[in-house]
Amino acid sequence: MKVTVEISLYPLHEQYESSVLAFIEKLRRHPEVVVETNGLSTQIFGEYDFVMKELLPLHIQEVFRKEKAVVVLKIVQGHLRYEE
């Protein structure tokens, strides 16, 4: 099953930008997903099992081990990707 996840990472420190950019770069290293960003959030498009059971747990745990942060997720069945 295909899934779209909108994820926002809010590190709780003043140097938040480098943490957010590093997180996005790690997500982009996975060829199994498409990652798109805008000024407010990142969208991940991929297979549910990979995204929810492998990708996100791995990278969210890594963030939580290194720093205090808030992670906000929106999850929708299917790919809600708008082509221009």
Which CATH number belongs to the domain containing residue 13 in this structure?
A: 3.30.70.930
Look at residue 84 and tell me whether its pLDDT is greater than 70: no
Confidence of residue 71 (pLDDT cuts 50, 70, 90): very high
Structural domain of 59:
2-77
| Rounded Cα–Cα distance for residues 57 and 20 (Å) | 16
**Total domain count for the chain?**
1
Residue pLDDT, tens place only, 21-67: 999 999 999 999 999 999 889 999 999 999 999 999 999 999 999 99
Residue 63's pLDDT is 96
Residue 62 inside a domain? The answer is yes
In a domain, 84, yes or no: no
Reported pTM = 0.91
In a domain? residue 50: yes
Position 82 pLDDT exceeds 80 = no
Domain assignment of residue 83, yes or no: no
CA dihedral of residues 18, 52, 39, 24 (deg, nearest 10)? 30
Cβ–Cβ < 8 Å for 33, 51: yes
